[in-house]
Amino acid sequence: MELSPGTSPKRVVVFDYGFGNVRSAERAVARAGAEVEITRDYRAAMEADGLLVPGVGAFAACMKGLKEARGDWIVDRRLSGGRPVMGICVGMQILFASGIEHGVQSDGLAEWPGTVEPLEADVVPHMGWNTVEPPADSELFAGVDPGARFYFVHSYAVRNWTMEVTNPAIRPPKVTWSTHGAPFVSAVENGALWGTQFHPEKSGDAGAQLLTNWIETL
C-alpha cells in the first residue's frame, strides 16, 4: 500500500493473549503497509488505529486467555468508541454469543448473536483452500478476484446468521459465506468490527489484498 506524501502509516496492534499466530499476522499486516506491534498492553491496544485479534485452538480456551489478558474489555471499549477491531479464525468465532465444543457450551463476547458449532461435513477439519461468496458491496473483498481462494483450518463455524437489523437507519452487517459440507459464515463486516474464519495472513495475494483493504479503512 503506497502512502501519500506526509502520511503516517496506520498503527495496528496484534493482540497477544497466547492463542494466535501472532508472528504470521505481524508479517502480513506489515507487508500490507501498517506499522505493527505485538502486545497485550492495554494502552497500546486502545490507542492503535486497528486491533487484530488472532485465534487458534479451542473456543473456551481462547476466551479464557482473552479474559485473562483483559482483551474482552479492550474489544468492548474499542467498539464502544467506533475503533476498528478484526478477528481471525477463532478470533472471529469468539465474537459470537457462544461456542459448542464436545457438547459443552461456552460464552463468547456476544458482539454478534449466534453459536459456533461443529461443521456438518464428511471431512473434518476443513483444512485447505476454499472459495468465498461475499456480498456485492463488500469493502473487505474489494479488488479481490471473484474466484480467489482463502486458507481455512477449522472444525467449527457459525452455520446460521441470526442477527436482525430492524432500524432502517442502521446498515446491516455484510456476511460472506463459504461451503464445506454445508454453508457457514466465512467473514463478517459490521461497522468497526470485521472478522474472517479463514487466515488472510496465509492466503497469498488474495489475503494480502484483504488486509490492505482493512488497513485502508482505519
62 annotated active-site? no
Q: Which residues contact 167 (CB under 8 A, 6 or more apart)?
A: none
Residue among 126, 154, 180, 199 flagged as catalytic = 199
Q: Which residue of the set 26, 62, 89, 180 is catalytic?
A: 89
Cell of 12: 495496528
Cβ pair 47, 78 in contact under 8 A: no
Catalytic residue, chosen from 26, 111, 189, 201, is 201
Q: Shortest CA distance to 88 belongs to which of 143, 147, 134, 150?
A: 150
Sheet holding 85-88, edge to edge: 35-39, 11-15, 50-53, 85-88, 193-196, 182-190, 174-180
H or E element: which one contains 24?
Answer: helix 22-31
Task: Indicate if 89 belongs to the active site.
Answer: yes
Contact 62/51 with Cβ under 8 angstroms? no
Active site residue 216: no
Q: Which residues are catalytic?
A: 89, 199, 201
